[in-house]
Amino acid sequence: MHDRCPHAPRRLSEGWQCVSTPAGACATPASLEAFTQWIDAPVPGTIASALRANGVADEALAQPFAHSDHWYRVKLSGKGKRRLRFNGLATIAEIWLDARKLLESDSMFVAHDLDVDLDGEHTLHLCFRSIAPALAAKRGRARWRPKLAQPATLRNVRTTLLGHMSGWCPAIQPAGPWRAVELIGDSRACIDNVDIRTSVDGSDGILDVTVRYFHAQEQAPVRIGCGEAQATMQWTDAHTLTGRVRVPDVDLWYPHTHGDPSRYAIKLGDIEVGEVGFRTIEVDRGADSKGFQLVVNGVPVFARGACWTSADIVALDASREKLDHIFGLIRDAGLNIVRVSGITLYESDAFYELADRYGVLVWQDFAFANFDYPDDEAFRASVQREAEQFLMRTRRFASLAVLCGGSEVHQQAAMLGLPFDAYQQRLFNALLPNAVAEQRPDAAYVVNSPSAAPGDTASMPFGTRGGITHYYGVPAYQRSFDDVRRAQVRFASECLAFANVPDDVALRAMPNPRAHEPRWKTGVPRDPGSAWDFDDVREHYMQSLYRLDVPRLRYENPERYLELSRAVVADVIGAVFSEWRREGSTCAGGIVWNLLDVRPGAGWGVIDVLGAPKSALHGLARVLQPVQALILDEGLDGLDVHLVNETAREIRARVELACLREGAVKVAGGSCDVVLQARSVQRVSSNALIGAFFDIAYAYRFGPRAHDATHVVLRDTDTGDVLSEAFHFPDPSVGERRDIGLSAIVEKDSDGFSLVVETAQLARWVHVVDPNYVARIDWFHLAPGATRRIPLVARHANVSAAPEGDVCAINAIRSATYRAA
């Protein structure tokens, strides 16, 4: 139920104050008189977000807040029975009303309801205690000790690992009411909760709704509507309504790459309750039972996306506006899945609502990662409550497709030498899957990420040829591109981690934006204990692909170093996903690590801390569209062009291939008409297109290369529109730059500003540099004589300046300067 519903619980978001004290300094609210430095506090939020709101700089927020005490207070008024709902308290918390302690909580992932009798003015206190005693408590002996998060006894505490992972994210430890505090019962018609389930029966959608009111009702007839379909609800008691609506010939919800994410509005009488989608989810494990492919409404889906961290690492509760912007970028890039990793937390309702709206599948890890978790009765009871609350809260969302026990628990144990039986845990094998079967039987369950195929006890959990893997052969382990095919990945729930360099505007937000210096390195992720970081990974591929002396380039020409750093990740990402999407590939999905940066710098994110897409995201967009041409180098067999059509319609198209010398002169080529069947991938050989021998991959090397690029266009034969383009460079090194005739002008219409970019010769990795605007289409190749119109989006709401900047290409000796008239 959304906040705009007039009978929804009232958020207590105004008038809060907070103060920090040494651990154990105040046993009760009465002891707080000695502490006078109370500050205004946003709720939901954390002590870190309160300090940020009061002017403390982000870099000063990396503190061990979880090891101090923090008190929040707010005035509460009313008369009669009310219910206080605390949706998330991080992490060891007490709730006090006036001088009475009403509740203690030891999990940031569990919500609490408290029924109270109000009689005029009251003061509500929340105390967030130091987690140190919980860390020191004995809870059995761990069979392994991972290095990811410290201390190892974090396994005993139900809190996020964000803030506790050195080298991965800022050390901003969460403490505070990170989810909303609500007051229920202000009006007679106040709704306590709405439980919504959807299912599909043949061609119909089934909606089951239970509405519970806080106060007893008169039990008058109530109609429930789902789109145009309606039914009368039944009173089971004075507080509870139930009803079922059958939606005939329902329009099913699809990920946006494969159809429309159709949704239906639900109305309780004249009250809008929200929207739902109807869909089915299955897993196809393949003929050998070792694969993993999501099947939505009977349609196999190549899942591609990125892992989620947090859109606000400080408050942990990002605004709907910010989330909406991010999901727009996800859709535009052709991504159709987001994985919420076990190192993070359970996201807000707004997150899942937007995933529904944008047609993005959600792979949700339960909040477990790396550790050997306790198995005592109290821990199991807490986790049972945590899982059930999350599943009940989110079961109306069609986007929630995969539920996973956690992240890298099996991998961590196996890499430390433990045999299969030693790292099996009842938590993942029984408790969590049983909760999923009870509350979300319409979603797939995966025991861990990564994990071997069900029943396979002989393979490593991170093996690539079966089950779910985290594939880092390319790039982290610096393998050649041949490894992508040799690995025979079935599904990569993590892959392609790079230190992705943001644009110049984001770099200027850093204290020192010069590459490789100490302050730069604080923004570069590394695995704990490793002798290398992800700058080193990126530089390896710069050297091997572009044949550069990278250290020398970095200190002699730092601007060129940054430009090519951005280009190479787009090259590598494009090559890997082209391999995975080709005809005959074993792979059914890849999820990049990560979607968002959590601090300024060259982080794992494909979107920077300012919300701007990096070259990596644009590189993904070049190879992940629903209708896509891809080029694969098959060596002595030349190039194969793979044509993907994920839509439900047949497409009649023409494939045009041209081999170019010096970026403009066509030396070979050919074309053919094709019919792209719905939901299909087909292959066309370059030899068949050209019709004669031509060393298009420069594999035979009978003399110097005859060309330096191959350009493929997939064109709709009915409209002439370009559906997709692909490029191949037999020698990917950059070589000497030249004047390629790049030009750009600014145009303005009712939709805003656009750039019109042209080039006389082929332009490699065209990109826009503008301090006030972001190009919606960026980091792309432009064929000779071609024109591209690029919408410009203001970087923030109060931009008043007109567009002014440069259009660059990595093979151009000069950029094209533009300025709006």
CATH code at position 711 = 2.60.40.10
| Cα separations in angstroms, 698 against 526, 597, 708 | 37, 39, 10
Kindly state the tokens that stand for 538: 């990126």
Nearest to 13 by CA among 74, 54, 56, 78: 74
**In angstroms, rounded to a whole number, what is the distance separating the alpha carbons of residues 164 and 145?**
15
The b/e string for 646-663 (b: 16+ C-beta within 10 A; e otherwise) is bbeeebebebbbbbbeeb
Burial class of residue 584, CB neighbours in 10 A (0-12, 13-18, 19+) = exposed
Beta bridge partners of 74: 124
Q: Which amino acid is at 120?
A: G
Kindly state the tokens that stand for 407: 């992240």
Residues 484 and 389 occupy one common structural domain: yes
Number of residues in the chain: 821
Read off the pLDDT of residues 19-55 as tens digits, 9 standing for 90 and up: 999 999 999 999 999 999 999 999 999 999 999 999 9
Residue 1 lies inside a defined structural domain of this protein: no
Task: Provide φ and ψ at 271, rounded to 5°.
Answer: -95, 125
**In angstroms, rounded to a whole number, what is the distance separating the alpha carbons of residues 499 and 526?**
9
**Residue-level pLDDT at 195:** 97
Residues 695 and 749 occupy one common structural domain: no
**In angstroms, rounded to a whole number, what is the distance separating the alpha carbons of residues 33 and 17?**
14
Residue 734 lies inside a defined structural domain of this protein: no
**In angstroms, rounded to a whole number, what is the distance separating the alpha carbons of residues 170 and 59?**
9
Residues 594 and 658 occupy one common structural domain: no
**Residue-level pLDDT at 143:** 92
Residue 737 lies inside a defined structural domain of this protein: no
Structurally, the chain folds into a number of domains equal to: 5
Kindly state the tokens that stand for 707: 């060309």
**Residue-level pLDDT at 471:** 98
**Residue-level pLDDT at 301:** 98
Nearest to 497 by CA among 576, 560, 550, 411: 576
Is the Cα dihedral 731, 735, 740, 746 positive or negative? positive
**Residue-level pLDDT at 2:** 57
Residue 655 lies inside a defined structural domain of this protein: yes
| Cα separations in angstroms, 768 against 557, 611, 618, 756, 795 | 20, 16, 12, 11, 13
Residue 4 lies inside a defined structural domain of this protein: no
Residues 669 and 641 occupy one common structural domain: yes
Question: Which residues constitute the domain of residue 633?
Answer: 627-728
Residues 128 and 52 occupy one common structural domain: yes
Residue appearing with tokens 């750009």: 744
Residues 251 and 201 occupy one common structural domain: yes
Residue 677 lies inside a defined structural domain of this protein: yes
SS (HEC) of 139-160: CCCCCCCCCCCCCHHHHHCECC
Residue 416 lies inside a defined structural domain of this protein: yes
CATH of the domain at 165: 2.60.120.260
**Residue-level pLDDT at 6:** 75
Residues 589 and 693 occupy one common structural domain: no
Nearest to 383 by CA among 363, 361, 364, 405: 405
Is the Cα dihedral 375, 379, 381, 383 positive or negative? negative
Residues 443 and 543 occupy one common structural domain: yes
Residues 384 and 524 occupy one common structural domain: yes
Q: Is the peptide bond between 44 and the residue preceding it cis, with omega within 30 degrees of 0?
A: yes
Last residue of a domain, one of 163, 184, 205: 184
Residue 331: enclosing H or E segment and its boundaries? helix 320-332
| Cα separations in angstroms, 61 against 130, 206, 813 | 17, 48, 43
**Residue-level pLDDT at 114:** 98
CATH of the domain at 522: 3.20.20.80
Residue 2 lies inside a defined structural domain of this protein: no
**Residue-level pLDDT at 1:** 61
Residue 650, classed as helix, strand or coil, is: coil
Ranges of the chain with pLDDT below 70: 1-4
**In angstroms, rounded to a whole number, what is the distance separating the alpha carbons of residues 23 and 66?**
10
Last residue of a domain, one of 569, 595, 621: 621
**Residue-level pLDDT at 161:** 96
Last residue of a domain, one of 566, 595, 621: 621
CATH of the domain at 798: 2.60.40
Q: Is the peptide bond between 151 and the residue preceding it cis, with omega within 30 degrees of 0?
A: yes
Residues 345 and 375 occupy one common structural domain: yes
Residues 693 and 719 occupy one common structural domain: yes
Residues 426 and 531 occupy one common structural domain: yes
